[in-house]
Chain A
Amino acid sequence: MPGALFLSLLLSPELGRVALALAACLALAQFALPLLGAQRGDPRLMATAPALAWGQLACLALAFVCLAAAAVGDDFSVRNIAENSAVAKPLLYKLTGIWGNHEGSVLLWSLILGICGAAVAWFGRGLPTSLHARVLAILGGTACGFELFCLLTSNPFDRVWPAPMDGHGMNPLLQDPGLAFHPPILYTGYVGFAVPFAFAVAALLEGRVDAAWGRWVRPWTVAAWCFLTCGIALGSWWSYYVLGWGGYWFWDPVENASLLPWLTGTALLHSAIVVEKRESLKIWTVLLAIGTFSLSLSGTFLVRSGILNSVHAFANDPTRGVFILGLLGLVIGGALLLFALRVHTLTAGGLFAPLSREGALVLNNILLCAICAVVLTGTLYPPFASLLFGQAISVGKPFFDATAVPMALPIFAAMAIGPMLPWKRARLAPVISRLWWAAVLAALAWGWSAFGIKGLLPILAFGFAVWVIAGAAADLASRTQLFRIPVRDSLRRARMLPRAALGAAIAHAGVGVTVIGLAGMSQAEHAIVSVHTGESVALAGYRWTLTGLADARGPNYTARVATIAVTRDGRPIAVLHPSRRDFASQGQVTSEVAIHTNLVTDLYAVLGDEHGSGAGHTAVLRLHDNVLAPWMWLGALVMAIGGGLSLSDRRIRVGAPTRARHRLPVPAE
């Protein structure tokens, strides 16, 4: 195959390294030239920004393709490939393995940042020239830092000599389709918040935040938020079905690192609406935009540098940590210093009464940020306690459950009411007249769950979830005047409904679905049993019988497979095949969870050790009945769909021209 050989020679790791270095140079130019141009009012310098952003993206894409070529072509002279790949690895995991390690993931991170820059260059053509140039300059400066980090401390193109015959393979736990696409989605979420950040810094430089600024920031925030939501849900789902611990969220530092920017990002999403519609909360929104990206960056830094202990350990390297810390200091410290110096140039906005749409959005912001502060405290307390007091402590699930959950309940309570309130000032009576039936439904749910559900918090959460979903439905019903005017007219109104309003209602309903799932999971039952073949146990109304144990052989592992028949009142429900896989070459044993779901409950089984022989032979099984588990991830999907719908709204479409300046219709009274 001379063609393929030529291609692989052409796309050599050295070319990738050069492309990456070139990208860093272009990014530096993208930082310096437009910034200078905007300062001097020189249109020619400002006009270089989009071209440089595209050039930077092209170089990054070339670098990424070079690494992909090395991965697919099994070039084990590249250290990164030798350490993380192997000839026998399936092609899909060779590709996804590119970002399954530190070096590759930094390159992916830079690539996504480059894509964001190019997207701003393209969709932001309608922006005022100086704002456009400054936003691109800030993105370029951030990108330059990351590309330098990649080049200087975590180069994925490093060669190794002598080249080994075969690579070292990859952690079998990571060879999973769910995890394969988790990092790109999650990173897109993290990196996407760089755009609101760049807008915030640019606004500080310009000394101007207005409704138009809010309208430009919002779609970028929504897009990043959708990706982050999906990324978090995917990560949680992966740990549920791969790690086999029966849990879905462990309040692990890595998980918290993704939750923190999600919380502030959600707050930003809502406060940007206030800026757009009412030109209020400007300073706060700018600070939130800076804070959200800062949390995205520092979360990754804390995990990568090894300061935070985590089950998802990346290779820890304090030297690398010092570099990232310097980078973070420049990006975050610079932005916050600029904020302190320039914030007085932003003027205060419109007034509003406490009971108004703005008031509800402020409440949302206060509560989300308070939760964020609590989670941040719980996450950072152990390393700081160790540094300052020399205490070895850990803060785990009980702490977060006892703080974050009670603080989330008022948000749910306000979520149904907020979208119904008019701007500036509101009266409660019209809201009550449209929401009373949602309140009745919630009360019924509370009444029912008081008998069916154990624990005060799950009962409260279940009722509030019903309230949120019913509230979202009531919002749509009142906007379309359902049951007040003929149904056909209502349908016509529904078609005319702004997509942003529809998306918001759907996203709110998604939160409700997730909370129902969480409340259901708090009722999950599990048992650890040691049984003989043929023996059966009762759990959660089901009969679980171990009918057999057998050996099996896979491509690079041997497995022990159990067969568990599950029946209910004598009726067969499911047959589960949990197994243990022994990857001899890696010396690793993994548990394959067996899950049977009917969307209402998950039957979940894990095979443990086996003991004894002959008649005394027993196997340890862990059995779970996870009520409503799929709803948690389904709800996140619904949230992301709602966000996507609102993105497609003509009014807030990315780069919508400034003339589209009419007000969003105030909900009909």
Chain B
Amino acid sequence: MTRKSRRLWLVGGCMLGFSGATLLTLQAFSANIVFFMAPSQVLASPPAPGRTIRLGGMVVAGSLHEVRADGKEPSVSFSVTDGQSAVPVRYVGILPDLFREGQSVVALGAMRADGSFGAEEVLAKHDETYMPKEVAAALKKSGRWDPRFGKPPSAASWNGMTAASVRGS
């Protein structure tokens, strides 16, 4: 075993390991990268059925319905809009606690043949710790939230807060 042949082995081993890693990564990237799309983008250039995407936007108020077509599994349907177009979404499962009509959601799933979006996972973006920057600024400015005294009020109350409740608190 000379120094040169050891180096050859080492370089060869590294090349093998990392080319394997690169190959797997590229292959997985081509199949598993999840693009984020807004409803208008989905309608403009529909992804191939079965291709997983993330659909983000707001839940159209009044669009949430419960469907119990698939036997025992509780299934819901609602529409997600980005202000330009809306996409109907079907979801089997328990909606997150913070899911509300009129709030932002992100749904992970794929388009189905009938033009609706089959969601495997629904995430409510407006959790306790997340808030769009402008909303936080607006709340601070409006006096509805003073960051010195803690966390912002919950998403549900942003728009529902009345003058009385603000004065009362």
Contact = CB atoms under 8 A, between A and B. Distances in A.
Interface of A: 79, 82-83, 160, 164, 167-169, 171, 313-315, 348, 351-354, 359, 362-363, 366-367, 369-371, 373-374, 377-378, 381, 391-396, 398-399, 402-403, 406-407, 425, 527-531, 537, 586-591, 606, 608-609, 611, 620, 622
B28 A425 contact: no
14 contacts: A79-B148, A82-B149, A83-B149, A168-B150, A351-B1, A362-B10, A370-B17, A381-B29, A391-B35, A394-B54, A395-B32, A398-B28, A398-B52, A591-B97
Contacts, number: 132
B1 A373 contact: no
A101 B66 CA distance: 39
A636 B114 CA distance: 46
B32 A396 contact: yes
The 6 A-B residue pairs whose C-beta atoms are closest, nearest first, are A168-B150, A392-B36, A608-B94, A366-B17, A530-B74, A370-B21
B24 A406 contact: yes
B149 A168 contact: yes
Interface string B128-169: 111000000000000000001111011011000000000000
Interface of B: 1-3, 6, 9-10, 13-14, 16-18, 20-21, 24-25, 27-29, 31-36, 52, 54, 66, 68, 72-74, 92-95, 97, 108, 127-130, 148-151, 153-154, 156-157
B130 A403 contact: no
Nearest to B9: A354
The B interface is mostly helix, strand or loop, or mixed, namely mixed
B129 A313 contact: yes
B25 A377 contact: yes
B33 A370 contact: no
A351 B33 CA distance: 43
Nearest to B93: A528
The A interface is mostly helix, strand or loop, or mixed, namely mixed
A588 B128 contact: yes
B151 A168 contact: yes
Contacts of A528: 73-74, 92-94
B150 A398 contact: no
A393 B66 contact: no
A241 B54 CA distance: 26
B94 A609 contact: yes
B41 to A, nearest CB: 10
Given A392-B36, A395-B34, A403-B28, A587 B156 contact: yes
B38 to A, nearest CB: 9
A620 B94 contact: yes
A499 B97 CA distance: 50
A352 B1 contact: yes
A168 B150 CA distance: 6
A311 B1 CA distance: 52
